[in-house]
Structure 1
Amino acid sequence: MIYLINKNTDPCLNHAIEEFFLRDTKEDVYSLWRNEKTLLLGKNQDVYQEIDIPEAQKRNIQIVRRLSGGGTVYTDPSNMQYTFIARGEDFLKGNSFSLFAKPVVMYLKSLGLDATFSGRNDILIDGKKISGNAQYKINGATLHHGTLLFDVDLESIKASMVSRPIKFQKKAVKSHVSRIGTIKEYLNGISIDEFMEGLSSYIIDYYKIDKIIEVDDEIIEKASKYLDRFRSDEWNFGKDFKKYISYSNKRDSGLYDYKLLLKDGKIMDIRIFGDFFEIQDVSELEKKLIGSDYSKEGIEYALKDIDIEKFIVGLKMEDFVEDLLRIGEKIEKETRMD
């Protein structure tokens, strides 16, 4: 494993650098980096439901969609992101989130903090979230990255991120802001630079890293071929789905936002958004459903050769079919009300 020093704060460039090392090298990588003010959107999220776009623009907050699934996170120079890129079957099996988060949790504990890995993808201190993690897997390699909220602009989070009650149906909290903590509030007088240096030293020792390189012009030039995607409005915003029927449901595996276009009893188009974690690209799942009859039998027939858990972590086929059929129930209810 190499330690990649990355002092760039352009979020599009930083994600392009990640993708370059993931796709174009065979290196295992650890890196710790920061962004300018940015809302990082999960790959499968609907930006129009997650972010108050005019408010974000007013505050000069960039909106960038990453490769990995999961939810939206706010980043700025007062907090940081860490990246691991690893090859091998051990990281591809099951849920490896806690495996990657382990040395981070151990470092926090070494500072005397009550840090734990919790739920699908969070690191907590005293029960408050200071880190969310996400993954993207391709060609036998895993890209794992996470936030670390050393300090945070809570006002920008409250103003620019949409608080959706459905996300907290099974939790005893009222909003994402009430769950957030910062590392700084638990430490006395340690600067963010000192914290980052200490964390990197700990991880270098943990993984016995003996190769250190810094992002330079050559690496930036090689990574630049991936820049256009992260700077593209088509990638970051996609299209508006005003003409589609929408239905949202929260399950243990994540929040699901379905967009469905029906005509003459058939599925003409479908999009599956949410903060779930995908294994295979869900667009392949969507393609299977287009043109099928909108009925339990039609949906099950279209998906007869599909193992849905190879697409979305933790989702059961019967739950997926149930969600799709609830869209029809929603149409019937709205028709009766009219």
Structure 2
Amino acid sequence: MRVLLLGSGDPFANLAAERFLFESCDPNQEMLLLYVNRPCVVIGRSQNPFLEADLRVLRRYGMPLVRRYTGGGTVYHDPGNLNYTFIQPRRGYDKVQNSRRIIESLAKLGISAEVTERNDLVAGGKKFSGSAYRLTKEKALHHGTLLISSDLSLLSSALKPSFPGIEGKGVASVRSPVLCLNQVVPELRVEHVIHTLVQSFNRGVWEEIPPEAELYRNSRHRMEEFSSWEWIFGRTPRFAFDLLFEDRSIRLDVVKGRIVSSSFFGQKVDQLWNLEGPSTD
């Protein structure tokens, strides 16, 4: 299996590079990508960012909100979290087997873990890894996270709704107690896990991809797409919520990230406002 260590810390650049490799690689190629992002919150393709993340906390800490092109729930990334991606032929692809191979590698570091029915990885009953997937006729992609030494306090603060009482469509995350692997093995670092995975999957051989590499240049168009307002907020499923004002409420209806109508004290007013960030219209 070819193992690539992506050198950028930009979550948009890494997501774009991953997508580019998945779309352009030989259908018979097997790859494992490993990368670490700067602090950010990553939501699934069909999720509502206002329900999944506290955008005020993200602004305070300068953390970007990222929307994946795969499904699944919301996750927190920082330098204490390792991201992994399997790109494989569709024939013979087995997501549970992939997870078991990760667990077998972690066992070499003294970590006893198991795979749940949702294909999460847990240790001592607490989750340290979640996965998401994308399948085509010929290829399969399985990517996930490994919480190793992340800031769980910031994770908890960031993964809260921006507005209470949101009503609408969208895939909600399944909340689970989490832990970092350095709570199981003190002094464990991301570098230790990287070297163990590389040894397990490719006998210690990997390719380092620096930020200025051709891969990142070739996937720049995807990076621009994934970092755009239209992708991050414009794909938000329709929802509504109430803002309380003294003893009355203001109800806002939001479609594709824009407020399309408001009800002020029972009086409906049609509007078109962006709920978050600038529009390119």
Q: Which amino acid aligns with 1:201?
A: Q
Q: Which deviates the most, 122-131 or 186-195?
A: 186-195
Alignment match, 1:12: 12
Alignment match, 1:60: 62
Distance in 2 (CA, whole Å) between partners of 1:232 and 1:107 is 37
CA shift at 1:9, angstroms?
A: 0.7
Q: Indicate the SS of the match to 1:147.
A: strand
Alignment match, 2:23: 23
Alignment match, 2:209: 215
Task: Using structure 2 for the length normalisation, give the TM-score.
Answer: 0.74
Distance in 1 (CA, whole Å) between partners of 2:160 and 2:240 is 21
Given the alignment of the two structures, is residue 226 of structure 1 paired with residue 222 of structure 2, yes or no?
yes
Alignment match, 1:108: 106
Distance in 1 (CA, whole Å) between partners of 2:18 and 2:237 is 29
Quick one: structure 1 residues 221 and 241, their matched pair in 2 at CA, closer, same or farther if it must change by over 3 Å? same
| Contact preservation (8 Å) 1:34, 1:77 | yes
| Contact preservation (8 Å) 2:48, 2:237 | no
Given the alignment of the two structures, is residue 45 of structure 1 paired with residue 47 of structure 2, yes or no?
yes
Distance in 1 (CA, whole Å) between partners of 2:189 and 2:57 is 30
Structure 2 residue runs without a partner (length 5+): 166-173, 242-252, 257-281
Distance in 2 (CA, whole Å) between partners of 1:8 and 1:128 is 29
Q: CA RMSD in A?
A: 2.8
- The sequence identity of aligned pairs, in percent, is 27
The structure whose residues are more often strand, as a share, is 2
Distance in 2 (CA, whole Å) between partners of 1:148 and 1:242 is 32
Structure 1 residue runs without a partner (length 5+): 166-174, 245-260, 262-269, 272-338
CA shift at 1:189, angstroms?
A: 3.0
The structure whose residues are more often helix, as a share, is 1
| Contact preservation (8 Å) 2:46, 2:237 | no
Distance in 2 (CA, whole Å) between partners of 1:240 and 1:97 is 28
Of 62, 71, 74, the match for 2:73? 71
Alignment match, 2:199: 201
Distance in 1 (CA, whole Å) between partners of 2:146 and 2:232 is 23
| Contact preservation (8 Å) 1:97, 1:133 | no
Distance in 2 (CA, whole Å) between partners of 1:56 and 1:243 is 22
| Contact preservation (8 Å) 1:41, 1:65 | yes
Alignment match, 1:235: 231
| Contact preservation (8 Å) 2:148, 2:189 | no
Distance in 2 (CA, whole Å) between partners of 1:193 and 1:112 is 15
Task: Using structure 1 for the length normalisation, give the TM-score.
Answer: 0.63
Distance in 1 (CA, whole Å) between partners of 2:60 and 2:237 is 21
Distance in 2 (CA, whole Å) between partners of 1:139 and 1:67 is 17
Distance in 1 (CA, whole Å) between partners of 2:188 and 2:157 is 28
Alignment match, 1:157: 155
Q: Which amino acid aligns with 2:25?
A: T
CA shift at 1:99, angstroms?
A: 1.7
Distance in 1 (CA, whole Å) between partners of 2:43 and 2:155 is 13
Distance in 2 (CA, whole Å) between partners of 1:188 and 1:156 is 20
CA shift at 1:134, angstroms?
A: 0.8
Alignment match, 1:169: none
CA shift at 1:241, angstroms?
A: 3.4
Deviations 1:187-207 (A, max 9, x none): 1433321222122211224xx
Distance in 2 (CA, whole Å) between partners of 1:149 and 1:220 is 25
Q: Indicate the SS of the match to 2:83.
A: strand
| Contact preservation (8 Å) 1:32, 1:200 | no
Q: Which amino acid aligns with 2:154?
A: S
Q: Which amino acid aligns with 1:78?
A: G
Deviations 1:203-258 (A, max 9, x none): 224xxx97x433242111112121122111111112573569xxxxxxxxxxxxxx
